[in-house]
Amino acid sequence: MKDLFYGLWPICRKEFTHIRRDPTTLFFTLAVPLMQLFLLGLAVDTNVRQIATAILDESHTPQSRQFVDKLAASDSFHIVAHVDSADKLDSAIRAGKARVGVRIPYDYARRLQEGNTASVLVLMDGSDSSVAGQATNASTGVAMQLSLTQLLGNSPMPVEVRPSVLYNPSTRSANFFIPGLIAVLLQMMVILMVALSLVRERERGTLEQLTMTPVAPLGLMVGKMIPYGVMAFAELCVILAVMRVVFLVPVHGNVLTLLVLSVPFLLTVLGLGLIISTKAQTQAEAFQLAMATILPSVFLSGYIFLIENMPPFFAVLSKLVPTTYYIRILRGVVLRGAGLQDLLLDAMILLVMGCAATGIAAWLFVRQQQHA
């Protein structure tokens, strides 16, 4: 067992020294994913302001008018039209005059007076098919819900806001989008770091010297995985903090659970990085191969296209993409507050994938040495 991982700790220590020795690279490695998170995350900013809003007040009561006044006074909404029928509300949105329609039902005041919960229907334009567009729409809804709750929070009126998206009911929210983004960014960073580290050794000739030592292939592989795994883990913590603090995505589950369940994913992408490093002769090649892994993890993982809506063939393919499971874990914990037991299967699958990837990388490495 010890022989299987021979040389692990010296490699691990050396790798940390390399990282410390080159603060510029370290800075960019850590900063780039954050920058990407900001850029892409801001495209789906949840802090929407002055959304063009159309109002359909069917209630025509002092209570409903008070509600509309509060809405108009808030910074989030800008009332562009008052309409008198549901059809007109729809067409205002369809025509692009308003992004949001608020419909106050005729029984609004009565239900409030009876002490029941009154519903306000919020309609949103879901026709914009671009991801950013969809996300913006959805986040509009979220923001709206938030502001409405705040708006009405102090009042004794129990009002329930029912956002509903027109034309594209399966659209996602920023809360939905950002966890997926985290998976993709993390994967990119990890694969690049570990693959480049090994390929650099190949390019510089230090690998040849190293292979003549008793270092075991798995010792070399795992010795490289640990330092970059630690870095990725630190980055994940920062990213999660940014998600929570800057993008105001609420985390419904336990952050610790999320961190623990992230380890199998990190293992998998580290393993993938190592496999790439055995295939690439130069750093440029490694870079291209790393980029190639991004495509399936963006399009097949449920990050953009819902797996439920995929053709069967792609739905099956998506099961082979590690990112699928991690996005499920992220969304599970962040959105649904899922616990360890709920996501254990996904984590186990990732763990198996990670061990397999590491083993395959070591095997490819040995095979390659025999021919080089």
Partner 1 sequence: MTPAITAEGMTIRFGSFTAVQDVSFQVGKGELFGFLGPNGSGKTTIIKALCGLLTPTEGTGTILGMDIRKQAAEIRRHVGYMSQKFGLYEDLTVAENLTFYAGVYGIKGTQAEQRTKELLALTGMEPYLRRRVGALSGGWKQRLSLCCAIIHSPQVVFLDEPTAGIDPVARRSLWDLFFQLSGQGVTFFVTTHYMDEAERCGRVGYIYLSKLAAIGTVAELQQLPAANPKGTVRVQIEAPDASVELTRLRSMRGVREATIFGRSIHALVEQHDLEAIRQQLSGASVEPVVPSLEDVFVTLTYEIMKER
Ligand X SMILES: Nc1ncnc2c1ncn2[C@@H]1O[C@H](COP(=O)(O)OP(=O)(O)OP(=O)(O)O)[C@@H](O)[C@H]1O
Contact residues: ligand X, CB under 6 A: 371-372
Rank residues 21 and 313 by Cβ distance to partner 1 and give the closer one: 21
- Report in angstroms the alpha-carbon separations of 7 from 1, 25, 147, 244, 266: 12, 25, 57, 40, 22
The reply on whether position 281 binds partner 1 by CB under 8 A is no
Rank residues 20 and 39 by Cβ distance to partner 1 and give the closer one: 20
Rank residues 262 and 277 by Cβ distance to ligand X and give the closer one: 277
Query: Phi/psi of residue 212, each to 5°?
Result: -85, 0
- CA–CA gap between residue 112 and residue 107 (Å, rounded): 8
Q: Angle, nearest 10°, between helix axes 174-204 and 217-245?
A: 150
- Tokens 């009154």 correspond to what residue? 118
- CA–CA gap between residue 70 and residue 81 (Å, rounded): 16
Rank residues 153 and 205 by Cβ distance to partner 1 and give the closer one: 205
Determine what percent of the chain falls in helix, strand and coil, rounding each to the nearest 5.
Answer: 65, 10, 25
Rank residues 228 and 325 by Cβ distance to partner 1 and give the closer one: 228
Binding track, positions 131-170, relative to partner 1; x by CB under 8 A? ----------------------------------------
Amino acid at residue number 10: P
Rank residues 210 and 242 by Cβ distance to ligand X and give the closer one: 210
**Region near partner 1 per CB under 8 A, out of 61-69, 188-196, 203-211, 270-278:** 203-211
Task: For 219-271, give the DSSP string.
Answer: HHHHHHHHHHHHHHHHHHHHHHHHHHHTS-----S-HHHHHHHHHHHHHHHHH
Binding-site residue total for partner 1 (CB under 8 A)? 27
Residue 9 beta carbon to partner 1: minimum distance, rounded to whole angstroms? 7
**Which parts of 283-312 interact with partner 1 (CB under 8 A)?**
none
Q: Among residues 206, 282, 309, 368, which is the contact residue for partner 1, using CB under 8 A? A: 206
The reply on whether position 23 binds partner 1 by CB under 8 A is no
Rank residues 155 and 213 by Cβ distance to partner 1 and give the closer one: 213
The reply on whether position 10 binds partner 1 by CB under 8 A is yes
Residue 366 beta carbon to partner 1: minimum distance, rounded to whole angstroms? 10
The reply on whether position 205 binds partner 1 by CB under 8 A is yes
- CA–CA gap between residue 29 and residue 97 (Å, rounded): 44
**Which parts of 211-270 interact with partner 1 (CB under 8 A)?**
211-216
- CA–CA gap between residue 23 and residue 228 (Å, rounded): 14
- Give contact residues for partner 1 (rule: CB under 8 A): 3, 6-7, 9-11, 13-14, 17-18, 21-22, 204-206, 208-216, 369-371
